[in-house]
Structure 1
């Protein structure tokens, strides 16, 4: 690379700060953190239990043994805002900032929220299909984040690094093309393998079991459905 090319490359890379979180990502992180702090330092044990019943996704709720209430319709989404402790929260929020930032900048705040909802619901849906009578509450944003992770190889770093566009603003890789791409397939295999290992071995500092199957549901939804939320490259502006 010549000196001129180096200067041009550095000039453009400076336009993309490493931590320039969109407002919607900050808002989601803020909600998750606030709920965890409320549980840990303010709410009574009884109030914590009530929050878990009304906010967590519990498969057996849909078994027919219980009256269907409003929470049967809200918990497939609200569970993603609750976490099993500070370690669980911290891990998920770091990943949300990392993979949510480029996606939010690409598709905008409203589409990002809907994408979050869809991936969270897909994660809960697969978890239910595999564990329909389980009474263990499912909590955590990792299903929704898995969907954001799956979206990454379909758009990130698909622009000329010397152009004025940020790395997330390139053209969307078509679904069929993605499934034929060795790089994308390797990414999927590595993610699936890592997810399985985490599910089987657990994560240091986290005593609760990990619903790795739910992650798969969110991942598949994010990978397949990104095109429904994407904006045309010409309409994408940096740091929205």
Structure 2
């Protein structure tokens, strides 16, 4: 008596074994660093954490003469420079951190896979600096410290919009030869796509609504929406400075993306 061979049926659990989050190691490291810094701050005595805040957060009043404001900020001349970056490593609350991490994972991951770690970090740093500069210009002399990675993440969002809508089906692909690594359209041609225009318009509207009106404040804190704009414009307008992909030829190989076509 023989037993028939068992047919090779598809495994219904095969797809379930795929990882839910397939993040690059650099993204995991970035999330871990931001989280570790916030954990350490939560363990510090209030006075020590206050020193950390005014040494590494961005404070527009720092750039006014000490004799005019009657006090000096910790960190001295060095902090006048490094706070343009270090403020992005601090967060005001766990909710603030969680929201920023979620946006960074969503928009920063495809940019990281396209740019590579070094270019991604450079973009984020330049966007953070631009965000601090924009806040300084619009809030000169204010004592309220600015913290959070939002400007850097806004830069990542601005960069993502330059290529995400060209190949939306593969934006999260881990294949190094995926379509989202192909050359991006020039900015003028990218704006022929109504989805790009809509995303940029909605982004500015939401940031203004939640920032200028204080609708998204965390407790007594307000949203530094001008810093977000500085970061976003860095990623949107400065995309070519960081993108490793070659510019496309001005021919039919990259047709305009009107209405998603």
Q: TM over 0.5: same fold?
A: yes
For 1:69, what is the secondary structure of its paired residue?
helix
Counterparts of 2:37 and 2:215, CA distance in 1 = 24
* 1:84-233 equivalences in 2 (<5 Å): 84-159=92-167, 161=169, 165-166=177-178, 168-199=180-211, 200-203=213-216, 206-232=219-245
CA shift for structure 1 position 180? 4.1
Preserved contact between residue 22 and residue 105 of structure 1 (Cα < 8 Å): yes
CA shift for structure 1 position 179? 3.7
RMSD of Structure 2 on Structure 1 (CA)? 2.6
Counterparts of 2:169 and 2:25, CA distance in 1 = 26
Structure whose CA Rg is larger: 2
The one-character-per-residue Cα deviations of 1:117-171 (angstroms, maximum 9, x if unpaired) are 0000000000000011011100000111011111122111424959974353232
Which structure dedicates a bigger proportion of its chain to helix? 1
Find 2:36's aligned residue among 10, 34, 37.
34
CA shift for structure 1 position 207? 3.9
Find 1:22's aligned residue among 21, 24, 41.
24
Preserved contact between residue 81 and residue 139 of structure 1 (Cα < 8 Å): yes
Counterparts of 1:61 and 1:205, CA distance in 2 = 24
The structure whose RCO (Cα within 8 Å, separation 6+) is larger is 1
Moved more, 57-66 or 144-153: 57-66
Aligned residues: 220
Residue ranges of structure 1 left out of the alignment (5+ in a row): 1-13, 235-240
CA shift for structure 1 position 189? 0.5
Residue ranges of structure 2 left out of the alignment (5+ in a row): 1-15, 67-71, 248-261
Normalised to the residue count of structure 1, the TM-score between the two structures is 0.83
The one-character-per-residue Cα deviations of 1:85-141 (angstroms, maximum 9, x if unpaired) are 100000001111111111000000011111110000000000000011011100000
